[in-house]
Amino acid sequence: MAPRHDLRAPLRRDSDDDEGGCCSCLARLRALAICVLILGLAAAAGVLALLWRLALARPMPTVDGGDLAVRRALNGLYFATNPSGSDWGRCDSKSVGGSAWGNLNHYCEWKCVECAKDRSVIGLRLQKNGLTGTVPRIISSIKTLRHLDLAANPGLVGTLPEEIGQIPALETLLLNYTRLSGSLPASMASLSRLRDVSAAHARLTGVLPTGFFFFFFFFFFFFFLFF
SS3 state of residue 155: strand
**For position 31, what pLDDT does the model report?**
81
Contacts (Cβ under 8 Å, ≥6 apart) of 42: none
Contact status, residue 136 vs residue 161, Cβ threshold 8 Å: yes
**For position 169, what pLDDT does the model report?**
97
DSSP 168: T
**For position 57, what pLDDT does the model report?**
64
Rounded to whole angstroms, the Cα distance separating 15 from 13 reads 5
Residues in a beta bridge with 115: 121
**For position 224, what pLDDT does the model report?**
45
**For position 25, what pLDDT does the model report?**
75
| Residue-wise pLDDT tens digits, 131-183 | 999 999 999 999 999 999 999 999 999 999 999 999 999 999 999 999 999 99
Write the Ramachandran bin of 112: left for phi over 0, alpha for psi from -120 to 50, otherwise beta: left
Residues in a beta bridge with 111: none
**For position 5, what pLDDT does the model report?**
52
All residue ranges of the chain with pLDDT < 50 are 60, 211, 213-227
Residues in a beta bridge with 147: 123, 172
Contact status, residue 83 vs residue 97, Cβ threshold 8 Å: no
**For position 15, what pLDDT does the model report?**
53
